[in-house]
Structure 1
Amino acid sequence: MAVLKVIEILANSDKGWEDAAKNAVSHASKSVKNIRSVYIHEQSATVKDGKIDNYRVNVKITFEVN
């Protein structure tokens, strides 16, 4: 039987929400092993001069605990 744990990560990108999600997984994988899935919990963006300036995601990352 596998034991799974979920952590919540906030990440951002100036390119898009997909890139922000990739940044979250990339950063988390530096200290968390056995990542199994990522769930995009929330998306938001900041606006500057009438244009989207920064994309943000709140993700839940699931990983297996040994």
Structure 2
Amino acid sequence: MSILKVIEVLANSNKGWEDAARNAVDHASKTVKNIRSVYINEQSATVKDGKIDNYRVNVKITFEVN
């Protein structure tokens, strides 16, 4: 039987939501091992001069606890 834990991470990118999600996993993986999945909980963006300038995601990252 595996024990799984879920953490919530906020991340951003100026390229897109997919890149923001990738940034969340990349940053979390520096201290969290055995990441199994990522769930995109929310997406948002900020707008500057009529254009999107920053993509934001709120993700849930699931990992196995040893």
CA distance in 2, matches of 1:2, 1:10: 26
User: Over residues 7-44 of structure 1, what are the superposed CA-to-partner deviations in whole Å (9 max), with x where a residue is unaligned?
Assistant: 00000000000000000000000000000000000000
Identity between Structure 1 and Structure 2 (%): 88
What TM-score comes out, normalization by structure 1 length?
A: 1.00
1:30 aligns with 2:30: yes
Deviation (angstroms), 1:52: 0.1
- 1:52 alignment counterpart: 52
Aligned-partner Cα distance in 1 for 2:48–2:11: 19
The residue that corresponds to 2:43 in the other structure is 43
With normalisation by structure 2, the TM-score equals 1.00
* Alpha-carbon distance between aligned partners in 1 of 2:65 and 2:19, rounded to the nearest angstrom: 26
Q: Number of residue pairs matched?
A: 66
The SS at the match of 1:27 is helix
